[in-house]
Amino acid sequence: MSETLPVPSAPPAPARRVSGVPIRLEHVTKRYPGQDRPAVDDVTLDIAAGETVMFVGPSGCGKTTLLKMINRLIEPTSGRIHLGDEDVTNQDPDRLRRRIGYVIQAGGLFPHMMVATNIGMVPRMLGWEKQRVTERIDELLDLVGLDPEQYRDRYPKELSGGQQQRVGVARALAADPPVLLMDEPFGAVDPITRQRLQDELLRIQDELGKTIVCVTHDFDEAVKLGDRIVVFDVGARIVQYDTPEAILAAPAEEYVADFVGAGATLKQLTLTRVNSLHLRPVTTASVGDDAADAVARARAAGDDFVVVLDRRGRPISWPTLAEVSRMAAIPATVDEKLPVVGLGSTLNDALDTMLAASQGGAVVLGRRDSLAGVVTIEMIMDAIQRTRQETAG
């Protein structure tokens, strides 16, 4: 099997910030005691710095085992593991792990510690000064889209599942590790929350450029998040290691084709992202603004609704002009059903979100949850039509 040294094809997206380091697994094998077949059988894998690599494959094929051998939560039976240009196979595992972020399902937060304590754990172990740790905690909460003032002193049980997972990501990023390992991080949350968390991760990764290795059961998630996907079979045999586009276009084996599933048009929905559409600009108003003025501006722009932004510039509702004209000032009410997608969301996600909210459009968030525009169902239909025509002729 050692000949399957995978050579990734096409280079990743053009220059973005990279703070990660490459990972190299060399002939790594894991044999659990009392089992005749190795769970991971002689795997060699190169992961480039700053890339997100998704592990997919059937249950029990060794994805988790392989992932945990990178931070040596599981010791390999044989083989070498390199991080950057260091061979870490025999390094002190505790010190190694402080340089590798680790995110598990449902966050794995310590329930008896407040959010801030959870996040500050690794920095404190590394001996950071108090002040620096405190600043870092707030910075990270902000990064994962949670207001530090509001969430810092909560206990995990006072957070929703999605929020817990965000804190889990923040905790993993606390000491700015170059590598992030994730084992089905979004497996335990509902589909809408999962999609938001995925968007969030894309945005964070866009900012940070870590090397991320992420196990998932969901091929669509792999397509959405991954710069590359590794498709495994039993014994962690690498069946295909390539970009999502390449795997979708040319599955290496029938096995992969089965795994990929679904029709060609629908693939477009998972391959095309909201940021590739020409988003519609919209009329915005801030909380407390004069309502009549907002209505006038919307009319002038030809909009029949207004997107309301809170004091941090994040959209909180989108009342119709009829509704706005009944008010004196723009209210601070948060519309909990406001359909929201990220720039990195796939068209598939966007459609899901609209359907879930029974609306014909969704608000698109850019960096740090600021408003990037609006996407409508018509725009998505157009995009599908266009690619169809392109592929047809």
Residue 47 touches other proteins, criterion: CB under 8 A: no
> What is the secondary structure of 235-270 as a DSSP string?
GGEEEEEE-HHHHHHS-SSHHHHHHH-S-HHHHHHH
Residue 240 touches ligand ATP, criterion: CB under 6 A: no
CB nearer to ligand ATP: give 59 or 389.
59
Task: Find the binder of other proteins among 317, 345, 346, 348 (CB under 8 A).
Answer: 317
C-alpha separations of 300 from 293, 297, 303, 323 in Å: 11, 5, 8, 17
CB nearer to ligand ATP: give 39 or 174.
39
The residues pairing with 181 across neighbouring beta strands, listed in sequence order, are: 102, 213
C-alpha separations of 183 from 54, 197, 251, 303 in Å: 10, 14, 24, 44
Q: How far is the CB of 81 from ligand ATP (least distance, A)?
A: 16
- Assigned token pair, 245: 């586009």
Q: How far is the CB of 39 from Mg ion (least distance, A)?
A: 11
In the chain, count H helices and then E strands: 15, 16
- Residues near ligand ATP (CB under 6 A), total: 10
Task: Find the binder of other proteins among 156, 178, 226, 244 (CB under 8 A).
Answer: 156
339: CB partners within 8 A, 6+ apart = 353, 354, 356, 357, 359, 361, 362, 363
Residue 71 touches other proteins, criterion: CB under 8 A: yes
Stretch that binds other proteins, among 25-33, 45-53, 209-217, 368-376 (CB under 8 A): 368-376
Q: Which of residues 3-42 bind ligand ATP (CB under 6 A)?
A: 32, 35, 39
Task: Find the binder of other proteins among 1, 334, 355, 381 (CB under 8 A).
Answer: 334
Write the burial class of residue 19 (CB in 10 Å: 0-12 exposed, 13-18 middle, 19+ buried).
middle
Nearest residue to ligand ATP, by Cβ distance, number only: 64
The answer to whether the CB of 97 falls within 8 A of the CB of 46 is no
Residue 172: name its binding partner from ligand ATP, Mg ion, other proteins, none (Cβ under 5 to 8 Å by kind): other proteins
Residue 216 touches ligand ATP, criterion: CB under 6 A: no
Pairing of strands 40-47, 211-215: unpaired
Stretch that binds ligand ATP, among 9-17, 59-67, 89-97, 120-128 (CB under 6 A): 59-67
- Assigned token pair, 81: 């593991």
- Positions that interact with ligand ATP (CB under 6 A): 32, 35, 39, 59-65
